[in-house]
Amino acid sequence: MGNPYLSPKSSEQLRVLRATEPEAVLRVSNLNVSAGDHHILKNINLEIPKNRITVLLGPSGCGKTTLLKCMNKLTDLYRELKVTGNIYIDNDDILNTTASIPDIRQKMGLLSQRPYPLPVSIYKNVAYGLKLKGVRDKKLVAFSVEKHLREVGLWEEVKNRLNSPASSLSIGQQQRLCLARGLAVKPGIILADEPTSALDPTSSKIIEDLFRDMKKHYTIILVTHVLRQAIRLADHVIFMHDGEIIEQGSPEELFENARTDKLRAYLVDGN
């Protein structure tokens, strides 16, 4: 029996909505991060839907990168950071698990603001990811290198110079090479921290188009403070301010029907 307060139509709409809602691949529960007296992340609770682009949006210093760092345990590198709470990936709480850090990180590809290719050839950059996965068969490595370079739209541009140093590529190409390297370890989730901020408009568009295409196979969590990029790409939006989640939901809910003054102000002037 349906809820008597809902009209039959909205009850049906809800049923359809629930049936089509993607499952969550990552769940954050009561996450707090502090450095001394500075409470950087304040009781964060969220779910990341599978095969969607989730955009973490908010003014500079609100904690977006720190949240991303918690998700692949990069916070372990900063002894001054105290992290408490739970982050569930595949029902395993990565903040309180016995799984090794490499095992956890293999589930996630990380794309940072600037590309950091390894100081080796284009080929070896992608092969490195496969090596990490334990792939030794040379034919299989060659097949996979091509596959992942194709996946990021780089194959045609580099197929005749695979042994050239990665540093000989343009910054936009290097960013796609880093993405290919990350994809080679078969992550389910891509963490992207302002991945187009160092790129020219053409290279940025290539990355944006890739993300739209990649969400068929991957879950993407994208940090950006470029509002137009968020509007172009987001399926799900999390708006943060001063270490807190202020609003989260669909782009329509946040961009067209903001409920809080903080989000409304941000949408007007980005602050």
Ligand X SMILES: Nc1ncnc2c1ncn2[C@@H]1O[C@H](COP(=O)(O)OP(=O)(O)OP(=O)(O)O)[C@@H](O)[C@H]1O
- Return residues touching ligand X (CB under 6 A): 35, 38, 40, 58, 60-66, 78, 80-81, 225
Residue closer to ligand X, measured from CB, 81 or 234 = 81
- Residue 70 or 166 with smaller CB distance to ligand X: 70
**Shortest Cβ distance from residue 221 to ligand X (Å)?**
13
For residues 2 and 61, which CB has a smaller minimum distance to ligand X in the complex?
Answer: 61
Nearest distance from C-beta of residue 246 to ligand X, angstroms: 13
Residues 52, 235 contacting (CB under 8 angstroms): yes
Nearer to ligand X, 81 or 104 (CB): 81
Helices (H), the chain: 8-20, 64-71, 101-105, 122-132, 138-151, 155-158, 171-183, 201-214, 227-233, 251, 261-269
Whole-number minimum distance, CB 62 to ligand X, in Å? 4
Q: At closest approach, how far in Å is the CB of 69 from ligand X? A: 7
SS (H, E, C) 178-199: HHHHHHCCCCCEEEEECCCCCC
Using the 8-state DSSP alphabet, how is residue 135 labeled? -
Give the nearer residue to ligand X in terms of CB position, either 75 or 173: 75
**Residue 6 Cα to chain centre, angstroms:** 36
What's the CA gap between 82 and 76, in Å, rounded?
9
In angstroms, give the least distance from the CB of 40 to ligand X.
4
